[in-house]
């Protein structure tokens, strides 16, 4: 059984959790809204033979969302183990 986490460690855990969440939400915002806002300008760029904004709307953003979810799960599991608050099993 793990010993209780100290107040300082709890604050550090929460600070790091909020930081990674803010970074990932910023990436999500850019992929979701900024790319579409500049769709006309971004369509001048081609990616895999498609206009960039079209590709991001059709497939690119979905790939980025999955990568964000996988990274968040990996990072939080690592952080939980580091601070001794990981779930058993």
Greater confidence (3 vs 85) lies with 85
Q: Is residue 38 a part of any domain in this protein?
A: yes
Q: Is residue 23 a part of any domain in this protein?
A: yes
Contacts with 3 (C-beta within 8 Å, 6 or more apart), sequence order? 84
Q: Is residue 61 a part of any domain in this protein?
A: yes
How many structural domains compose the chain?
Answer: 1
Phi, then psi, of 16 in degrees rounded to 5 = -70, -35
Note the pLDDT of residue 81: 93
Nearest to 63 by CA among 75, 48, 78: 48
Note the pLDDT of residue 1: 44
In percent, the amount of the chain with pLDDT more than 90 equals 67
Note the pLDDT of residue 17: 97
Tokens matching residue 59: 């497939």
Q: Is residue 89 a part of any domain in this protein?
A: no
Average pLDDT, the chain: 91
- Whole-model pTM: value is 0.83
Q: Is residue 29 a part of any domain in this protein?
A: yes
Instruction: Say whether pLDDT at 2 is over 60.
Output: no
Task: Considering only CA atoms, give the Rg of the chain.
Answer: 18
Q: Is residue 2 a part of any domain in this protein?
A: no
Q: Which domain holds residue 41?
A: 7-83
Q: Is residue 40 a part of any domain in this protein?
A: yes
Instruction: Say whether pLDDT at 61 is over 60.
Output: yes
Q: Is residue 1 a part of any domain in this protein?
A: no
């Amino acid at each position: 059984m793990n010993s209780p986490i100290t107040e300082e460690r709890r604050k550090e855990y929460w600070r790091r959790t909020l930081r990674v969440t803010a970074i990932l939400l910023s990436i999500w915002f850019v992929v979701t809204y900024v790319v579409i806002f500049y769709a006309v300008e971004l369509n001048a760029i081609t990616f895999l033979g498609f206009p960039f904004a079209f590709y991001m709307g059709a497939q690119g953003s979905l790939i980025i969302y999955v990568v964000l979810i996988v990274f968040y799960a990996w990072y939080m599991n690592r952080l939980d183990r580091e601070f001794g608050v990981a779930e058993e099993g």
